[in-house]
Amino acid sequence: MSANAALIKEFEAILGKDNVFTEESDLYSYSYDGAVLDNQSPAIVLRPTNSEALGKAVALCNENAIKITVRGAGTNLTGGTIPHPGGAVILTNALNQILEINEQDLYARVQPGVVTAQFAAEVASRGLFYPPDPGSMAVSTIGGNVAENAGGLRGLKYGVTKDYVMGVDFFDVNGELIKSGSRTVKCATGYNLTGLMVASEGTLGVFETITLKLVPPVPAAKSMMAVFPSMNAAADTVAAIIAAKIVPATLELMDNFTIRTVENFRKAGLPTDAEALLLIEVDGHPAQVEEDAAKVEDICKQNKAASVTVAEDATQRDAVWQARRDALPALANLKPTCVLEDATVPRSKIPAMIDVLGQISKKYDLTIGTFGHAGDGNLHPTILTDKRDKDEWGRVEKAIDEIFDKALGMGGTLSGEHGIGMAKSKYMVNETTRGTLEYSRRMKSVLDPKGILNPGKIIGW
């Protein structure tokens, strides 16, 4: 798009003069996201402040074949919010109203720009619970979470964003409002367009209102930290906990490199000589919590845990989870470039995947810190590097290829929770089939004939 004056005026008429940006500095601000990919500058940035303006802006973009990338907080790790060069970025940060929290019927209706943590806090203040807790929830938006099917620490027991989306109303490329889903917990009406919108990364429609399922709060919880002399012992413990039919709310793993890095980042008294840590929380009825905690402690010890420390109060519990939350920022601090992957395997394959990551780290002479959601097979191998070092970057790319290869070989998937975006679309055919890509592309081509909705993501065009 050339940001020609007449068109800019049209956008200003729809959105107001203050909500159309074309200054170089604005364009630069929205040219990248959380992924390790090259910047691409949009030609214009649009900030609708109400649904009507959003729909009209989408329609105007389509009329003029301007490519749209909708952006929440831009925390995306696979380039899902990197705009098309010369396209438009639509910001959702002025579409940030919680429209309704219905305490009788256990649902909420929100605009896409509502910040996840603020929403979760508001829900909690009404005595209810919104379980999805992606790592970026302090700043990420519900719209972004739905577009990416964001996961989080509680995925093991409570599922991911997908499991809480009851309905999505969205604009098609013509600015027509499409309604899907319901405020009822059961709905078998029409195509499951709500399900289709989840994880579609902004390529099939522009979200207007999202209806989310809420659940009653959890009455009790207990957190603990178990220290292991080897990654394998920790990985075996994870499998043994699941085999015992205990479903912890969270079951997180950290390797020695991550432990040392976190301790260096914030002196929290982590055991820096431990080869692996498991951070575990069980929740539910107080009696169940007591029993599960005792069983988990036993299982840890049977699997060679050197120690198991149970958090005795809220302060100690917060310390456990602060350590986990510190993992990514601490690792990211070490080197100029931090590649956070989320290849995911069936949980029984965690020990094998841990072995593979160790081998890959050696083979390509790379620093890989590994932490993540071991309970659901969703590890985050994190490669610390410097993209400007061409030789090392070449090895990083080979290592990533091999990580995906091995994960798929174990019956795993390319992405547990970060999505495909631009970073992984080339691998899609390895997990699915050529026919699967063609089916997806046929669908996209008819729903977005001019290809304006977040091009280049998922299916490669």
Q: Does residue 52 belong to the site contacting a second copy (CB under 8 A)?
A: no
Q: Does residue 367 belong to the site contacting a second copy (CB under 8 A)?
A: no
Stretch near a second copy under the rule CB under 8 A, chosen from 116-124, 187-195, 267-275, 296-304: 187-195
Q: Does residue 377 belong to the site contacting a second copy (CB under 8 A)?
A: yes
7 vs 60, which CB is nearer to a second copy?
Answer: 60
| Closest to 99 in 3D by CA, of 216, 161, 15, 183 | 183
Interface positions, 227-246, toward a second copy (CB under 8 A): 239, 242-243, 245-246
Q: How far is the CB of 116 from a second copy (least distance, A)?
A: 16
Give the burial class of 4: count Cβ atoms within 10 A of its Cβ; 0-12 exposed, 13-18 middle, 19 or more buried.
Answer: exposed
Contact (Cβ atoms closer than 8 angstroms) between residue 224 and residue 320: yes
283 vs 326, which CB is nearer to a second copy?
Answer: 283
- Total residues at the site for a second copy (CB under 8 A)? 95
Q: How far is the CB of 435 from a second copy (least distance, A)?
A: 3
Q: Which residues contact 243 (CB under 8 A, 6 or more apart)?
A: none
Stretch near a second copy under the rule CB under 8 A, chosen from 5-13, 61-69, 257-265, 418-426: 418-426
> Out of 307, 322, 359, 445, which residue is the one contacting a second copy (CB under 8 A)?
445
Q: Does residue 416 belong to the site contacting a second copy (CB under 8 A)?
A: yes
Question: In whole angstroms, what is the distance from residue 98 CA to residue 110 CA?
Answer: 4
Task: Compute the C-alpha angle 458/133/105, nearest 5°.
Answer: 100
Give the burial class of 144: count Cβ atoms within 10 A of its Cβ; 0-12 exposed, 13-18 middle, 19 or more buried.
Answer: buried
Q: How far is the CB of 28 from a second copy (least distance, A)?
A: 28
Q: Does residue 97 belong to the site contacting a second copy (CB under 8 A)?
A: no
> Out of 217, 336, 394, 409, which residue is the one contacting a second copy (CB under 8 A)?
217
14 vs 197, which CB is nearer to a second copy?
Answer: 197
For 90, list phi and psi in degrees, rounded to 5.
-105, 115
Q: Does residue 433 belong to the site contacting a second copy (CB under 8 A)?
A: yes
Question: In whole angstroms, what is the distance from residue 63 CA to residue 348 CA?
Answer: 51
Question: In whole angstroms, what is the distance from residue 243 CA to residue 233 CA?
Answer: 15
- Give 10-15's long-range contacts (Cβ < 8 A, gap of 24+): 10/60, 11/44, 11/46, 11/57, 11/60, 14/48, 14/53, 14/56, 14/57, 14/60, 15/46, 15/47, 15/48, 15/49, 15/53, 15/57
Interface positions, 271-300, toward a second copy (CB under 8 A): 284-288, 291
Stretch near a second copy under the rule CB under 8 A, chosen from 36-44, 112-120, 173-181, 359-367: 173-181
Question: In whole angstroms, what is the distance from residue 255 CA to residue 113 CA?
Answer: 35
Q: Does residue 35 belong to the site contacting a second copy (CB under 8 A)?
A: no
Interface positions, 144-163, toward a second copy (CB under 8 A): 148-151, 155-156, 159-160, 162-163
Stretch near a second copy under the rule CB under 8 A, chosen from 214-222, 269-277, 330-338, 362-370: 214-222
Q: How far is the CB of 299 from a second copy (least distance, A)?
A: 15
Strand 98-102 and strand 250-255: the pairing is: unpaired
Q: How far is C-alpha 397 from the geometric centre of its chain's CA atoms?
A: 22
DSSP string, 259-305: HHHHHHHS-----TT-SEEEEEEEEESHHHHHHHHHHHHHHHHHTT-
Q: Does residue 63 belong to the site contacting a second copy (CB under 8 A)?
A: no
> Out of 6, 216, 267, 269, which residue is the one contacting a second copy (CB under 8 A)?
216
> Out of 176, 273, 318, 386, which residue is the one contacting a second copy (CB under 8 A)?
176
278 vs 414, which CB is nearer to a second copy?
Answer: 414
Q: Does residue 409 belong to the site contacting a second copy (CB under 8 A)?
A: no
| Residues forming a β-bridge with 238 | none
| Closest to 152 in 3D by CA, of 238, 250, 221 | 250
Q: Does residue 267 belong to the site contacting a second copy (CB under 8 A)?
A: no
Q: Does residue 252 belong to the site contacting a second copy (CB under 8 A)?
A: no
